[in-house]
Structure 1
């Protein structure tokens, strides 16, 4: 990658264009610091460009990425993580970057995700979402440590005109940073349809029989809740409500065509900063209490419940095994703690390590996904059962979503507590870990609890 220090955008474009090989193109990335703007105002303004938008926020760290447009796209069907890595490196090799800031998520950033199981037959529900897709946004706003950075990414060719491109980019910038756009009204749920609940409970029973025959230790089964809304949902409005109601979560939104995959997940898969790895083991779930005393009782029971502790330990052991070939200085506490959210509480164990030279965040993701919290144990056998017996196409639900940049920073979460918005309809997804003693009714009730975060922001009960 070529680093340029020229401050004038037209001069940067001119130098990049003048050094392009005949009949080639290259990515030019230009980053600058900007005055204060609400990232969601930027997101709302981007809707007028009629391009796909991406949103990522780590609420606990006040870190936000908002992207719109597509300067470059990476997709793959086979060997998807390896192919994505190759295409990403190929893009960076000839790219030109003008970014004077050592800030994660600035410069050349790729935002996206992957399907839970690319071998599962794809349904019409997820027709707009590829097995893996990363987008380098044309226009990117980054909020980091109370500072804001604006990045333009543009593919240029030898016959492009620098001044014309600079003027066009300036016009878009003015549109994105103009006064706040009026937001849409809240939606209300006017209809709901549970997809085959009795058949789902029967599948849970079949999974327990599979486990009792010692073919597998744990299987995670998900189900779908289909909603009808009183109007077309606005993703910016949903993000606002998720930010208000789901602290300590990762808020994400990915538009594809007229569809939008959106949610607030508490489960980090992996974060890389300057080769330092941070991850999360999050498995074992209970509701919040209505009083402090009830909440404390539920907390205690969760922390001492054999089923939830066993489920959590599956994840901890898998995490250690998945990263040990790529990391040094691995630190995993012996005991979990309880991690409270607004509607739910989970067993939580943090993980830290040091990434080995030559290893990448996509290496880690490939080995971590799917975690026992979303697939089961052993991985191959549990996912095979899900593929054959589960009643839905998960699409991107339960899979990695996040971002990476050209300085080897990145962060991915597991896309749970999520929904696929399609105009005035939505599909919500929730899963539970089935073990040999699982009761279908209790597992059904657990998934009902997990629907609450998305139901509440779409106009349902809190």
Structure 2
């Protein structure tokens, strides 16, 4: 099978070489595609040394992409840049035929407050891959996106694409997770956490704030080699109905396996959700159902979820021709926890685009709080670390389809440390000890993977 894959990549190089004798097409972007046999995307990316790579997969199993090199990218320094950057991406992608498979990847931080941003990633970025392998229900496709605004840009794109392909190695097997981790503290500490919640309750009493989401960074020191790709693969095995994302920063990566959708758009039809309210899973089906029933009748969690639902519907009302939400909540079950969810659907007004949706929805009260501005200010004042991309946005966008996830259940990995992120919605009825335990439950999947690394259930030496 590897020989067939190599042959298709070689065929792509031949096609690109032939294009060097032609003038730049009369359009800003040109795409070349070839079919591929099945390829293990995460294993394939793990073996590549190129720095410009990324990965994204939707939670429904419809679309995954492994990217190598950037054909075009735009860096965002604040929320104010969202409108122009996304319009630029839409214009570029709109120059391709309607059924083209090209999409951009993007990430946005939780906040554009300079003290909240991770320097190695900045506030946000939109990326059009140069070389990509796309996996969908129709099979695998090798795609190359070539900039063609002029002859110089055209020849440069062709040359860079050939260099990327010729530098590839063909190993697809993921490394074994073989590390020892040591807890190196929490930010905030438990005592600081209790004080933060007490401050929030004082704000609730004045009606200045209804809900705020506080979060925690759990710091682990690493002894050994931890492959981010192997971790991501095991994470997905544990929580299969989740988005996956992986982005490269300066000497660190941001990765995650999030159950939460921010918004998905197909033409002018959108779907989103209010995902808030949490309880643990049971040890067997009977206990699990009992916990689920308790969650569906818990006043504190129902209130928390309703605040999120009402805010999302309010934000979307002026952008949609029609908008409807489920009449009752449902349960989303993950490996260690389960959540309350309301699903929301709408039809957009004309001239409403992805940037309008992101400006309206991000960050939702599920990760920030309500009222939104007051909650964001409260977090900036009381949370003692930089969230960066945690609780931000990771997704894909194109003219026809876009899909954005909320970047929860995420981690930041350097050579010697792993930082895990979790948050809890704080309302008037919250208890500090219970919310701290919820933070533990939300990182339990990764802790379990690392502690059970030799278990057969986390054998990552397989195709992903």
Provide the TM-score with structure 2 as the length reference.
0.87
Instruction: Give the distance between the partners of 2:85 and 2:452, measured in 1 at CA.
Output: 38
Q: Deviations over 1:204-236 (max 9, x none)?
A: 111111111111111111111101112242221
**Structure 2 unmatched ranges of 5 or more:** 1-13, 459-464
Task: Give deviations 1:183-209, integer Å, cap 9, x for gaps.
Answer: 254333133312222112211111111
Q: CA deviation at 1:59?
A: 3.9
- Could you tell me which residue of structure 1 aligns to residue 89 of structure 2? 88
Report 1:364-383 matches (<5 A): 364-383=357-376
402, 417, 424: which one pairs with 1:410? 402
1:441 equivalent in structure 2: 433
CA distance, structure 2, for counterparts of residue 179 and residue 231 of structure 1: 21
Give 3-state SS (helix, strand or coil) of 1:330's partner: strand
Cα separation, 1, equivalents of 2:127 and 2:186:
33
Determine the structure 2 residue equivalent to 1:58: 58
Structure 1 residue aligned with 2:136: 144
Match of 1:453 among 445, 448, 456: 445
The answer as to whether partners of 1:360 and 1:408 remain within 8 angstroms in 2 is no
* 1:17-416 mapped onto 2 (5 Å cutoff): 17=24, 26-45=28-47, 47-48=48-49, 50-78=50-78, 79-89=80-90, 91-92=92-93, 97=96, 102=99, 106-107=101-102, 109-122=103-116, 126-155=118-147, 157-159=150-152, 169-170=161-162, 172-173=164-165, 176=168, 178-181=170-173, 183-195=175-187, 196-405=189-398, 407-416=399-408
Once the 2 structures are TM-superposed, how far is the Cα of residue 172 of structure 1 from its aligned partner?
A: 3.8
2:177 and 2:225 in contact (8 A); partners too: no
Name the SS for the 2:318 alignment partner: coil
- Distance in 2 separating the partners of 1:182 and 1:302: 38
- 1:349 positional shift: 1.5
Unaligned runs of 5+ in 1: 1-6, 21-25
Identify if the C-alpha distance between structure 1 residues 165 and 354 changes in structure 2 by more than 3 Å, giving closer, same or farther: closer
Question: Does the residue aligned with 2:115 lie in a helix, a strand or coil?
Answer: coil
After superposition, the Cα gap between the structure-2 partners of 1:243 and 1:174, relative to the gap in structure 1 and judged at 3 Å, is farther
Q: CA deviation at 1:452?
A: 1.2
CA contact 1:68–1:138 (8 Å) conserved in 2:
yes
Q: 1:306 to 1:153 in 2, by over 3 A?
A: same
**Contact kept in structure 1, 2:223 and 2:416, CA below 8 Å:** yes
SS in 2 for 1:298: helix
Cα distance in structure 2, aligned partners of 1:299 and 1:225: 27
Q: 1:212-271: CA deviations, max 9, x gaps? A: 111111111111110111224222111211121111111111111211111111100111
For the structure 1 residues 282 and 19, does the alpha-carbon distance in structure 2 shift closer, same or farther, using more than 3 Å as the test?
A: closer
- For 1:55 and 1:161, how far apart are their aligned partners in 2? 25
Q: Count matched residues.
A: 438
Q: TM-score, normalised by structure 1?
A: 0.87
DSSP 3-state at the match of 1:359: coil
Local SS of the residue matching 1:345: strand
8 Å Cα contact 1:265/1:414 also seen in 2: yes
